[in-house]
Structure 1
Amino acid sequence: MSQAIRYVRYGGPEVLTLDDVPLPDPGPGQVRVAVRATGVNGIDWKLRSGFMDRGRRPVGPTGVGVEFAGTIDALGAGVGSGKGVGGWSAGQAVFGRVPSGAAATHVLADTGNLLAMPDWLSFEQAAALPVAVETAWRALRELDVTEGHTLLIHAVAGGVGLVAAQLARARGVRVVGTASQARHDFLRDLGVRPVEYGEDREDREDMAERVRAAAPEGVDAVLDASGRDVLAMSVELAGGPDRVVTIADGRAAEYGVRFSSGVGGSPLEEVFAEVLPLLERGALRVPLERTFPLERTADAHRLSEQGHLLGKIVITVP
């Protein structure tokens, strides 16, 4: 028997329940992973609330969670045994992503969305990486920022924002980021020029001036990871909508801005070929805002919905 966090109707965190479910069997090209930790992302509570389905009811019990770390405990047909390229083995520590259902004691994962976990990573750290790292890496590729450019990141202290900022800095890009005042010292230590958030329309107008003061050389590109009505300002600062990408504002088309949805996603092997060496030598950090046990997934969702986080929320599985 396995356990999984699920919901049968859309709503707030209170709709989540911890259910006993049959132990899943891996199909061809899959492995079953005994989950040790799973990350929490904005997409989790947006799906749970029905925001993505425009009021339609979910079809049966639905799991939550799209990234995980754990150990392989069963191999599907066609999955090579033994470590190395194309080979996986029972007991091997791994991390990766799935379409849904990672908040559980066991999850099925396609091997193409799986990576071997280095021994210098903890399960909690590894579970925080796949979504934030792939999203940040993809957004920087779409913006095509290179050495000497100045990048503005809205919500730079969140998981995606922090990874994008550090990746950009490693590539020689200047980074300006909007964040709450309490995060500014941490951001300066990363080489980011922090700017205070604009909480309302009037303050956002002042925020544009604060950005200009922090980046007198001008802004070459903008990554919006906040979804807090900053697209018009971002287009103005960057000099055009083609220099702005959002991962959080569904009104992107109204402003001619690209919405990076990550459907399909970039190959994790390609993404982490650049990122793992940075993580190992401490040139990239993804702090954990807080961890919760599996049975308190609803509390993790509540905290995620509040925003203003530093890094990621992670759920641990005994």
Structure 2
Amino acid sequence: MFTPPLQTQYMNIFFDESGQGSGNDKPSTMGGLLIPDIVYTSPELVELTNALRTGEIKLHWTDYTGDSKQRKNIENAIKVFSKYARYSKMNVINYNRSTLDSRYKLSEDQGSQSKKELSKREKSKLINYATLMIYTKIPERIFYGLLRHYGKDVYIKTNIFIEKEGKYEKYNLEQRLMENLNTQSLYRAEQFWVEKCEMVSKGVEIGVELVDLLLGIIRLIINNKKIPFGLSLEEYSKKKLKGSYMKTSLVIDLLKNNEFNNFLRNIKYFEWDSQKELNLVAFRDYLDLFMATNFEHFNPSLFNEEGKKLNQNRKNLRKRARIWR
């Protein structure tokens, strides 16, 4: 006999993607951030949303290359979010679609043939089923993972917000996701329901902007590029490393916030390479590797006088080594 749950909780899920998976733009990631509605409507988060909508602040990870105002805005947004991070959940999928595209070409479907002699207008109407799969199944898995397993005495009702994008509109992402998730909930006897799934423009919901920032930070940690510290900004510019240096420096500072550090350690992070199952990976391992690569910036002893001398001696030794090469 069915027993109704004792309580209903209202949630908001925010979705974004980062990276196209080609060239130097790997990895490709999609992420969903779940924040309880009672938390999302707290004064500090509402204030951030209002600041976005009035244009007082702008948040976009790829645009940040060192501007002090942008850095302050990002730091403040993460600082505010960190206060509520313990009440939030995030699922991220790192995917590789190259094998998927290769398999799709075997079908000889028009949408899989990139070199067909079609007009731009004709191509825009074609459905590429590999793209359709990526933009429906992966977000669906992210949302489903965030909404299930709350227990028999809790019923979850949620609104989903996705940053507006042309390809999402082409594949009717809002309707597909809402229908798939709700039918899945009924089929698997889960205790959730999606009341609304909508696309919003950039600068409207702080939740969407937070996913953009979080995915940018996560991708930087995964890439873990060794950036030389101690150069002038002119030297970084000449080496075409200024943007990477400024982003890395910012992430190092953000990770010194224990609440934010703990949040990243506990995200559900999956990797998918066109196999049947998602592979759950401990993101804390990627995080520890990043912090180990930059350990000098996380070791408090290196910030006292003795540590500073030791650090300077290391720099001098490196300079001498370069001279003798």
Shorter-chain TM range is under 0.3
Higher relative CO (Cα under 8 Å, sequence separation at least 6) belongs to 2
> TM-score normalised to the size of structure 2?
0.24
> TM-score normalised to the size of structure 1?
0.25
**Structure with greater Cα Rg:** 2
More helix by percentage: 2
